[in-house]
Amino acid sequence: MNQGLRALRRIATAPTPPAAVGERCEMCAEPVGAQHRHVVDVEGRQLMCVCALCYLLFTDQHAELRYRAVPDHYVSFPDCVIGQGEWDALDIPVGLAFFFVNSALERTVAFYPGPAGATESELPLRDWRTILDRHPELDRLAPDVEALLIRMPERGGPGAVLLLPIDACYEFVGRMRMLWRGFDGGNEARNFIAEFFTTMSARARPEVAS
C-alpha cells in the first residue's frame, strides 16, 4: 500500500482523539513533533498542522483540492530591488508586507504587520501588476502557500525581496504582534525584523538574473 492510501485510511478510520499532551495531526490525530509540516485550508484560510503522510496527500499544487501543502521553499532575489516609487504606488502604510495569491479571490492580496496582527490592505493594488512586469522573476508564486515578503529600509533606498512559505510569514506576523509597542512597533520589533530577514536570507537559495 502506498503512503497516500495509508494516510487516507488513517484519516477515515481514526476515532475522535482524547485530549493529550503535545500536538497532533489535525487530519488523522497522529502525534507530530515540534518540527512538523503544514497544509492550508483554502476554503477556511487556515493553517493546519499535519503529519508527514497527510502532508504528502496535498503536494500537487495543480490539483483542485481544498487543502494544499506548504512547501519548504526559500528564495532570495539579490538582483531585484524594489524602488521607493514602486512601493509608494502600492499604498501600503508600513515598510514591510507580504503578498500571496488568494485562489478563492483569484487575485493577489497584501498583508502587513501591526499591533492587531496581520492586517489586509484595503487599498487597491492596481500597480502590483506593474511591479511584476518590471520584475518578472517575482511572478512565480504558488497560490495560497507561498508569499513574497518585501522589506523597505527605514531611511529610504531600494527594498529587498524574499519568497517564503506562507507559514513562515504567519509565524513572523504572530511574533510581531507580541513584540509590537506604540505606533511604530518599537526597538524590539525592529530588531526582530532584522533578525528574521537575516535568518530567512541565510536559508534562501539566491536566484541570480541570467
User: Do 39 and 100 contact (CB within 8 A), yes or no?
Assistant: no
Angle at 188 between CA 185 and CA 192, to 5 degrees: 95
Q: Which amino acid is at 11?
A: I
Give the span between the Cα atoms of 84 and 99, in whole angstroms. Answer: 17
The CA distances from residue 146 to 17, 39, 60, 92, 165, in Å, are 31, 11, 14, 20, 5
Give the span between the Cα atoms of 33 and 120, in whole angstroms. Answer: 31
Q: Which amino acid is at 201?
A: S
pLDDT in tens, the chain (210 residues): 444 434 444 433 444 444 344 689 999 999 998 889 999 999 888 899 999 999 999 998 777 889 999 999 999 999 998 998 999 899 888 889 999 998 888 889 998 887 777 788 766 777 898 999 999 999 999 999 999 999 998 766 778 899 999 999 988 988 888 888 877 788 898 899 889 989 999 999 998 765
67-69 vs 75-76, strand pairing mode: unpaired
Angle at 43 between CA 13 and CA 9, to 5 degrees: 15
